[in-house]
Amino acid sequence: MKSDHFGYHKMQELTKACRINGLPVTPQRQAILEALAGRSDHPSADELFDEVRKQLKGISRTTVYRVLETLVRIGVVQRIGTEEARARFDADTRRHHHILCMGCGKLSDLKGIDIGELMPDSAEVAGFRIFNYSVQFTGLCAECLASAEVSSLPARATTTLIDKEKE
């Protein structure tokens, strides 16, 4: 759970970003951002829909998807790509990195490890201008390692686990 201060800050950020982009601050945008800002588990749009529809009875799944896309576009939320088919979302738009469990799908902020600045010295690489980056590590969380049988793990995880056991 994130702090109330973080949620308040995100609502202020939403108001400012909407004003700059000529968009109204709708109850749907507020409710979705508030729900996301209160979580630290990087939910999918469907998970946010399930949470927000308790508060806004008439909201549709399509509205949640559209609002999330708008919040990403105006820079209030970030979309996190994972190997699974669905996008995950994070209200924390500061540069930070993630760790994804290949077993259960848990996506967490990577804390306490400084991987340094990875942005190339020159912002142009082979004619491509880089504006941002993110790093995502994949592996198995402690719970999945403790309960997993090697045969039930994803192929890449199985190979890695077997290689580690040989060392």
Least confident residue range of 42-46, 109-113, 158-162: 158-162
Residue 167: pLDDT band (50, 70, 90) is very low
Task: Answer for the pair 31, 55: CB distance below 8 angstroms, yes or no.
Answer: yes
Q: DSSP assignment of 70-84, as one string?
A: HHHHTTSSEEE--SS
> Taking CA 54 as the corner, what is the angle to CA 51 and CA 56, rounded to the nearest 5 degrees?
105
- CA–chain centroid gap for 43, Å, is 7
Model confidence over 114-131: pLDDT tens digits?
Answer: 666 666 666 567 777 777
Q: Which domains are delineated in the chain?
A: 1-92 (1.10.10.10), 95-167 (3.30.1490.190)
pLDDT at 159 over 60: no
Tokens 């919040």 appear where? 71
Average the pLDDT over 3-14 and give the result: 85
19 three-class SS: helix
Average pLDDT, the chain: 81
Inter-CA distances, 2 with 7, 10, 74, 90, Å? 8, 11, 22, 11
Please report the DSSP string for 61-111 in residue order.
HHHHHHHHHHHHHTTSSEEE--SSSS-EEES--SS--EEEETTT--EEE--
How is residue 150 annotated by DSSP? G
Pick the more confident residue, 88 or 161.
88
- The pLDDT tens digits for 59-107 are 999 999 999 999 999 999 999 877 766 788 888 888 788 888 888 888 8
Tens of pLDDT, residues 33-62: 999 999 888 999 999 999 999 999 999 999
pTM for the model stands at 0.73
